Amino acid sequence: MPNQANTATVELLKQKLSEAKSFAIVEYSGTTGNDQVELRQALSAAGAEFRVAKNTLMRQVTGKDEMNASFAGQNAFVFSYEDEVGGLKALFTFHEEKEKLVIKQGLMGDTVLSAEELASLSKLPSKNELVATLISRLQGPTYGLVNVLLAGQRDLVYALKAVADKLGTQSNTTPVTE
């Protein structure tokens, strides 16, 4: 019979997994306490969470037999809440700087992802970067249209200024006689 603490932890982890857009299993045995604090802060800024839980409980929560091999060792679990790749980007950035983590597997929806697939996902632009790119692409034609519509007026002003400059320099060089 499971104890109350484990039952509550399983329920909490199920809730976190259902809210997360992506999930990763990370072995953290080579990290120090300061490293973990730094990683937690980076993940928190990216809308993700670093959580340590018992492997048996996480195995029960995920319910994926393909992931059973990853539930060995000192594991932590990274839940990305804001977007699918934000937490993974922060995780892989920390991994590349410190080289102390072993990223094992992940989960996105019902799809089990390998470490290589997680690495390739972490290289994708984040949701905010994609939105900014989309907005700039949508604004591009509008700016072009405005420039085309204003070009006639602008060219007329330039032509009139050139004529005025030409008449102004001619009137200064040639005396007017009556």
Q: Could you tell me which CATH number the domain at 4-124 has?
A: 3.30.70.1730
Closest Cα partner for 41 from 93, 84, 85?
Answer: 93
pLDDT, one tens digit per residue, over 56-105 is 988 888 888 888 888 888 999 999 998 888 889 999 999 888 888 899 99
Which residues have CB under 8 Å from 24's CB, separation 6+?
77, 78, 80, 87, 88, 91, 103, 104, 105, 106, 107, 118
pLDDT, one tens digit per residue, over 101-134 is 899 999 998 889 999 999 998 888 877 888 888 8
What mean pLDDT is predicted for residues 14-31?
90
Closest Cα partner for 63 from 27, 33, 107, 95?
Answer: 107
- Is 0.75 topped by the overall pTM? no
What mean pLDDT is predicted for residues 4-18?
90
